[in-house]
Amino acid sequence: MIKVLSNGVQMPLLGLGTFLVQDGSSAYETVKYALEVGYRHIDTAQMYKNEASVGQAIKDAKIPRSEIFITTKQAGHSTIEKMRAQFEESLEKLGTDYVDLYLIHWPNHDKKINQQTWALFEELYEAGKCKAIGVSNFQRHHLLDLYETAKIKPMVNQVELHPGLSQEPLKAFLDQEGIAIESYGPFMKGGIFEGIWGEGLSEIASKYHASIAQVVISWGLQRDVIMIPKSVTKERIEENFNAQYVNLSDEDMKKINELNRGKRVYTDPDNSPWGPYKG
Ligand SMILES: NC(=O)c1ccc[n+]([C@@H]2O[C@H](COP(=O)([O-])OP(=O)(O)OC[C@H]3O[C@@H](n4cnc5c(N)ncnc54)[C@H](OP(=O)(O)O)[C@@H]3O)[C@@H](O)[C@H]2O)c1
């Protein structure tokens, strides 16, 4: 399943997340196994500190580079020189001369800083070093502020999204803007297996002889949301990949949509470690 981004780049709708996958043998074996299973999209970040092992696993898989979609994320806002050097370091660690998608990991509380970082992203994109550029954890107002100086619209916005936080208003806005929405934290830090979510989802899962995790991934894919579940467990890596073969009925999609409670289990982008957004 492919998502065609606004600039025509093709992004596999299902990928592997690697947050908290330790650099070294864990990240290496996880990515290597995922590629064997059939994943062709890997999500990493400078902050995850595992780009070198991710890159080595990709290299050793001997799959043509053009068939693998690699996303990485800018560690944090800084001077242009420092951020440019960090990008080059990512390329080196990943063992590639371009990334498929480069994301601003978090909005800064100061819109001018976001605008300045974005100008560098545009430069890297125009130089062909990123096939697509985007943002992460941006709310509608962060995007509107970015537009004030942007020459290029972000192609992707990666945000917390799961049955407890379906992000319908943000998704409607992004759809209108031609920005693809990508989910992180699809399992709600374990919340999808408990309480109202566990109850509702297990009932649906049993109908399809699927797992709760598969139902959640499939729900995202059927909403045209890019999904990047993380697992270091072989059985789960495979189980999550096979979620693309679970076809939920409209009625069950609706039932899952009704589990939305606007519940965040990750940091609120309006009140991030950089403080409340000032604009
Ligand atoms: N942009 C951002 O700010 C941001 C923030 C957070 C995450 N992300 C990205 O999004 C990806 C996904 O989010 P996440 O890693 O936070 O959380 P997640 O994918 O929702 O959940 C990962 C957890 O679920 C477990 N798990 C995986 N498959 C399972 C299955 N089939 N059944 C039961 N449990 C399962 C994993 O255990 P095992 O690994 O032990 O199998 C792990 O503990 C990240 O890896 C990262 O790439 C981005």
- pLDDT at residue 139, as a whole number: 97
pLDDT in tens, 27-56: 999 999 999 999 999 999 999 999 999 999
| Separation of CA 126 and ligand 1 centre (Å) | 32
Q: Which residue range forms the structural domain that includes residue 74?
A: 8-186
Query: In which band, very low, low, confident or very high, does the pLDDT at 272 lie, cut at 50, 70 and 90?
Result: confident
Residue 144, φ and ψ in degrees, nearest 5: -60, -40
The reply to whether 42 falls in a domain is: yes
- pLDDT at residue 191, as a whole number: 98
Kindly report the CATH number assigned to the domain that includes residue 24.
3.20.20.100
CB 245 within 8 A of CB 14: no
| Separation of CA 217 and ligand 1 centre (Å) | 11
Beta-bridged to residue 74, according to DSSP, are 104
The alpha-helical segments, DSSP class H, found in 127-185 are 140-147, 168-177
Rounded to two decimals, the pTM is 0.98
Q: Is the pLDDT of residue 190 over 90?
A: yes
pLDDT in tens, 194-225: 999 999 999 999 999 999 999 999 999 999 99
The reply to whether 124 falls in a domain is: yes
The reply to whether 252 falls in a domain is: no
Query: In which band, very low, low, confident or very high, does the pLDDT at 148 lie, cut at 50, 70 and 90?
Result: very high
Share of the chain above pLDDT 70, in %: 100
Q: Is 18 in the pocket of ligand 1 (CB under 6 A)?
A: yes
Range 236-259 average pLDDT: 98
The reply to whether 70 falls in a domain is: yes
| Separation of CA 113 and ligand 1 centre (Å) | 29
Rounded-to-integer distance, Cα 267 and Cα 109, Å: 14
Q: Is 46 in the pocket of ligand 1 (CB under 6 A)?
A: no
Q: Which long-range contacts (CB under 8 A, 24 or more apart) does 116-124 make?
A: 116/77, 116/80, 117/74, 117/77, 117/83, 118/146, 118/149, 118/150, 118/154, 119/149, 120/80, 120/83, 120/84, 121/74, 122/150, 122/151, 122/152, 124/87
The answer to whether residue 184 is catalytic is: no
Rounded-to-integer distance, Cα 248 and Cα 254, Å: 10
Q: Is 217 in the pocket of ligand 1 (CB under 6 A)?
A: no
- The residue whose CA has the least distance to atom 36 of ligand 1 is 231
Query: In which band, very low, low, confident or very high, does the pLDDT at 271 lie, cut at 50, 70 and 90?
Result: confident
The reply to whether 26 falls in a domain is: yes
The reply to whether 68 falls in a domain is: yes
State which ligand 1 atom lies nearest to the alpha carbon of 184: 10
Range 108-123 average pLDDT: 97
The reply to whether 105 falls in a domain is: yes
The reply to whether 275 falls in a domain is: no
Look at the chain and report how many structural domains it folds into.
1
